[in-house]
């Protein structure tokens, strides 16, 4: 509702406009076939009767037009902005952005890289069911770690782990962050970002794993946190893990940093993977990580972590009984109170639809949608966690050009009103 | 069914009178306020809403009032999730009117402060715009393009992906 225009007839401009329309309506009911349908003054219809047709757009005040346009999917908002100058002013106004931030989150898009050299590809829009050809801003190659939250995408270069950028891929507004402290090069790095929807401030976490030189079953783990308000990196934890290392899979959910760890050397545990939960706000000292191990629900070939409405969800490749390295299916679990609840299992026909599915695959999700993609093909599968529905996306307009071409991607919420 | 048999009378800008139950009237915050201020015995003048629009708004308020009453009665059992979906389908059909009336419904819902009707009717117009090209949008609403070709080309190139055709 429009809070400013309270409500008694003579004071409201809106009232003035309404009564103007109804005045015309009264006149035209005698002549026009439909009330409120008007022709340009002077035009005559077939019967020679004159009716009045006005720009219906003029009937609505800005506030109501804002409300209407805020319901549009992002691509339509840009198109609406080129309809006329008035509409353009509306969709680029601060107030419109305020409306946008109060509309329910847009269903996430999935960006698929189609080149291993350049950050180009196609973005899938599940609402309009279209693929848009796009180039990602602020990175030059596609060899970057990527994390996303609430409309912002964070990139970290994989080679040195020292360059970080945060951007809004829709508005292309980007920011280069201060370099994190690099004490030694790590063997593995995982990246996660969490944006606060109200304040638009964000936390970025990097988990680095480096093998201890003389003892290959020991790994040096360090966790670095960046806060956009304090504009600074803090190394909040360094610890040595025995028999486990971090990888590249992490996500922040409800203020907790989750990351997958992989068993290394020594006696193999029941499962090769485990999850660690690290509370960002309650940073404690040495020895924390070992205490926050959460086992995975079954033997996995790989796991992908994501934040769906502040719940930790994992999409995992399920390994065969006697050959745990070989994938036989894909399952989806949600973490409740440090325990996994299985939400869904990919039906066989979709699993087969990927063709030869490698034991590893790409998967990411947010809000209500989970995207799953095989690295070997541009086919994209979508799981709606609300309706428990599996669906292939529209066919991606890119075809595999050579046998070893790889595809990967990530998902992000398309938002106009957030900037890094 | 609702036990209240109290009704009030509202008057449109055309001078027509419409009767509505208290429960239906409560769908509108404005009418509720006016009744609080001025009492129920007088006729409520709503000179910013014409009869055609008023008739539609009355229909909406009655439907939603009945739906609420049914929910209260069975403790929500009779309605269930299916009931909410049915109501939404009813709303969708209800809003399938020609543009002029739809816009008048939006204005009336805003003026009368009927939030659910305002939200649904705005969404209905958004659905008409969704997925259309700027030319198509201009045609639907009879809007004059006041951009020069150069200005329009610049806007398109800034967000080229949004204008890609299917």
Residues of A in contact with B49 (CB under 8 A): 18, 22
- Only one residue has tokens 């990411």, namely A364
Provide the 8-state DSSP code for A195: E
pLDDT (tens digit per residue) in A148-190: 999 999 999 988 888 999 999 999 999 999 999 876 678 899 9
DSSP string, A18-66: HHHHHHHHHHHTTT-SSTT----TT-B-TTS-B-----GGGGS-HHHHH
Is the per-residue pLDDT at A30 higher than 70? no
Which stretches of B7-166 are assigned E, i.e. beta strand? 7-11, 17-21, 44-45
Q: How far is it, in rounded angstroms, from Cα A222 to Cα A238?
A: 4
B121-156 confidence digits (pLDDT tens): 999 999 999 999 999 999 988 899 999 999 999 999
Q: Do B93 and B102 form a contact (C-beta atoms < 8 A)?
A: no
| DSSP one-letter code for B153 | H
- Asked if B104 has any chain A CB less than 8 Å from its own CB, the reply is yes
Q: How confident is the model at residue A398, as a pLDDT?
A: 84
Residue of A nearest to B138 (CA): A83
Flag whether pLDDT at A407 surpasses 50: yes
**A:B CB pairs within 8 Å:** 154
Q: Write out chain A residues lying below 8 Å of B161, CB-based.
A: 75, 123, 132-134
Contact A25, A17 (CB under 8 A): no
pLDDT tens for each residue of B33-71: 988 887 777 788 888 999 999 999 999 999 999 998 888
Enter the tokens of residue A346: 């990919």
- A24: nearest CA in chain B? B50
In chain A, residues 90-129 whose CB comes closer than 8 Å to chain B: 123, 128
> What local confidence, expressed as pLDDT, does residue A247 receive?
93
Q: How many angstroms away from the CA of B91 is the closest CA of chain A? A: 17
Q: In chain A, what residues touch B106 (CB-CB under 8 Å)?
A: 60, 64, 68
Question: Is there a contact between A169 and A419 (Cβ–Cβ < 8 Å)?
Answer: no
Check residues A49 and A124 and name the one with the higher pLDDT.
A124
pLDDT tens readout for residues A80-98: 999 999 999 999 999 999 8
Among the partner residues A25, A84, A128, nearest to B131 by beta-carbon distance: A128
Going by pLDDT thresholds of 50, 70 and 90, the confidence category of residue A267 is low
pTM assigned to the model: 0.83
Q: Cβ separation of A57 and B141 shorter than 8 Å?
A: yes
> Do B166 and A36 lie within an 8 Å CB cutoff?
no
The Cα of A281 is separated from the nearest Cα of chain B by a number of Å equal to 39
The alpha carbon dihedral of B60, B66, B70, B72 has a sign of positive
- Running DSSP on this structure, what letter comes out for residue A103? S
Chain B, 40 to 79: residues with Cβ < 8 Å from chain A are: 47-50, 52-53
Report ipTM (2 d.p.).
0.91
């Amino acid at each position: 509702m429009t809070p400013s225009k309270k409500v008694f007839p003579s004071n409201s401009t809106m009232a003035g406009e309404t009564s103007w329309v109804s005045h015309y309506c009264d006149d035209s009911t005698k002549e026009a076939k439909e009330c409120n349908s008007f022709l340009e003054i002077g035009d005559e219809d077939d019967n020679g009767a004159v009716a009045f047709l006005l720009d219906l757009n003029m009937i609505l005040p800005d506030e109501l037009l804002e409300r209407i346009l805020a319901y549009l999917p992002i691509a339509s908002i840009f198109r609406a902005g080129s309809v006329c100058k008035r509409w353009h002013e509306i969709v680029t106004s601060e107030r419109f952005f305020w409306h946008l931030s109060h509309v329910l989150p847009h269903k996430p898009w999935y960006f698929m890289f189609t080149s291993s050299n350049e950050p180009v590809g196609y973005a899938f829009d599940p609402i309009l069911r279209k693929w848009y050809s796009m180039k990602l801003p602020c990175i030059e190659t596609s060899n970057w770690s990527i994390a996303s939250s609430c409309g912002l995408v964070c990139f970290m270069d994989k080679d040195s782990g020292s360059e970080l950028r945060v951007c809004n891929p829709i508005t292309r507004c980007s920011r280069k962050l201060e370099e994190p402290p690099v004490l030694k090069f790590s063997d593995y790095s995982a990246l996660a970002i969490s944006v606060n929807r109200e304040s638009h401030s964000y936390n970025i976490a990097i988990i680095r794993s480096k093998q201890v030189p003389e003892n290959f079953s020991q790994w040096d783990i360090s966790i670095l946190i960046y806060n956009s308000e304090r504009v600074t990196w803090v190394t909040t934890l360094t610890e040595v893990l025995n028999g486990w290392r971090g990888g590249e899979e992490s996500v922040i959910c409800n203020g907790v940093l989750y990351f997958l760890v992989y068993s290394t050397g020594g006696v193999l545990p029941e499962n090769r993977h485990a999850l660690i939960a690290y509370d960002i706000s309650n940073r404690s000292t040495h020895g924390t990580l070992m205490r926050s191990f959460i086992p995975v629900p079954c033997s996995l070939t790989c796991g992908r972590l994501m934040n769906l409405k502040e719940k930790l969800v994992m999409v995992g490749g399920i390994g065969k009984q006697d050959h745990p390295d070989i994938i036989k299916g894909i399952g989806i679990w949600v973490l409740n109170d440090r325990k996994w609840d299985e939400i869904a299992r990919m039906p066989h026909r979709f699993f087969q639809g990927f063709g030869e599915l490698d034991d590893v695959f790409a998967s990411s999700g947010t809000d209500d949608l989970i995207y799953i993609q095989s690295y070997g093909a541009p086919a994209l599968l979508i799981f709606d966690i609300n309706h428990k529905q599996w669906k292939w996306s529209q066919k991606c307009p890119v075809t595999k050009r050579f046998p070893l071409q790889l595809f990967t991607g990530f998902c992000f919420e398309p938002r106009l009103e957030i900037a890094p | 069914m609702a036990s209240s048999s109290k009704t009030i009378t509202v008057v449109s800008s055309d001078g027509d009178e419409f009767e509505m139950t208290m429960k239906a009237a409560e769908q509108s915050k404005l009418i509720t306020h006016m009744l609080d201020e001025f009492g129920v015995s007088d006729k409520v003048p709503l000179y910013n809403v014409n009869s055609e629009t008023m008739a539609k708004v009355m229909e909406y308020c009655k439907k939603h009032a009945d739906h609420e009453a049914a929910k209260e009665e069975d403790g929500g059992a009779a309605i269930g999730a299916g009931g909410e979906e049915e109501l939404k389908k009813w709303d969708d059909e209800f809003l399938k009117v020609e543009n002029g009336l739809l816009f008048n419904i939006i204005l009336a819902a805003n003026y009368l402060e009927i939030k659910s009707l305002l939200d649904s009717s705005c969404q209905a117009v958004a659905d008409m715009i969704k997925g259309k090209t700027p030319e198509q949008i201009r045609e639907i609403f009879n809007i004059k393009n006041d951009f020069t070709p150069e200005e329009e080309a610049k806007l398109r190139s800034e967000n080229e992906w949004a204008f890609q055709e299917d």
